[in-house]
Amino acid sequence: MANILISGGTGLVGSAIAQRLISEGHEVRILSRNPKVSNNVKAFYWNVEKNEIDEAAFDGIEHVVHLAGSGIVDKRWTASRKQDIIDSRVNSIKLITSIIKKKNIQLKSFVGASAVGFYGMVTSEKIFTEKDGGSNDFLSDSCHQWENAYSEIQLLSLKHCVLRIGIVLSLNGGVLKKLLPIFKLGLGSAMGSGKQYVPWIHIEDLVEIFHESLFNKKYNGTYNAVAAEGATNQYFSKQLSIALSKPFILPKVPSFVMKLLLGERADVLLKGSQVSNNRILETGFQFKFPQLLSALKNLVIKSK
């Protein structure tokens, strides 16, 4: 069994990964400002802003999963918030890397999170692959800085993966948890033009991709962690209504309303392009939920 350190281990994705690994008998450690031992996870103190970390968390560590980072759309994008979004990702991995180097640890694998925001807040018919660059906007720039910060720890690992994650479908957080109450009332609608694409992935498939990235020797490099079926915001919204057996008749929420409510970060919801998952499929990975409607129905049933 392996010893695995997860940053961001209390978040939506991190907690799901931790429970999967624990169920297999692995030792999982997480980093937290308020460390508590729960659900068989060992928690260790860290404070990125103060550059403080309990080095005992690294004793015997073989694998690292990096998920730490402030929420992209949780707060309005002021200049200080934008800097926090970047710093929380970049400085946290720098802190982890410094201890890995100090203790002269040779990792068996490193898996770092990124996002499909790497390709920018744009709407087009282009299908982006891992070879494509980004655009000239904040989200793309922050993802580039995030991924560039992995370069040093990747040299300290026998293998490494970066996963560019789409919208994660889960009942425990994220977009779906916010949308369900509205759509259950039959008040769901598309946003903006409705033509923007929503690259998505079911939480169970994402956890499986992280698992394979940790332990499967076939996995190395950068992968788009998204399902195959492309979905526009209009299509996504309609499929969610169908999954809930609710009407989908309301007009789209105008872009200007979204921008009044959310400011610049509204573009995260109002823009989006298709993202290819061909590279992850080439490893032999099989999605449990390749189609949006089946993914939504699976979660809707669990929510009742």
CATH number for the domain spanning 107: value is 3.40.50.720
**What total number of domains does the chain contain?**
1
Q: What is the rounded CA–CA span in Å between residue 229 and residue 275?
A: 10
CA distances from 291 to 124, 148, 230, 294, 302 (A): 21, 32, 9, 6, 17
CA distances from 258 to 73, 110, 195, 255 (A): 12, 38, 15, 5
Candidates 205, 225, 235; CA nearest to 280 is 225
The answer to whether position 110 is within a domain reads yes
pTM assigned to the model: 0.95
Q: Which burial class, exposed, middle or buried, applies to 100 when counting CB atoms under 10 A from its CB (0-12, 13-18, 19+)?
A: buried
For residue 50, give its domain range.
3-169+199-226
Which residues, listed in sequence order, are joined to residue 63 by a DSSP beta bridge?
Answer: 4, 109
pLDDT (tens, 9 = 90+) of the chain, 304 residues, equals: 999 999 999 899 999 999 999 999 999 999 998 887 666 788 999 999 999 999 999 999 999 999 999 999 888 999 999 999 999 999 999 999 999 999 999 999 999 999 999 999 989 889 999 999 888 899 999 999 999 999 999 999 999 999 999 999 999 999 999 999 999 999 999 999 999 999 999 999 999 999 999 999 999 999 999 999 989 999 999 999 999 999 999 999 999 899 988 888 899 899 999 999 999 999 999 999 999 999 999 999 888 6
The answer to whether position 47 is within a domain reads yes
Q: Which burial class, exposed, middle or buried, applies to 103 when counting CB atoms under 10 A from its CB (0-12, 13-18, 19+)?
A: exposed
The answer to whether position 19 is within a domain reads yes
How many Cβ atoms from other residues are within 10 Å of residue 261's Cβ? 11
The answer to whether position 187 is within a domain reads no
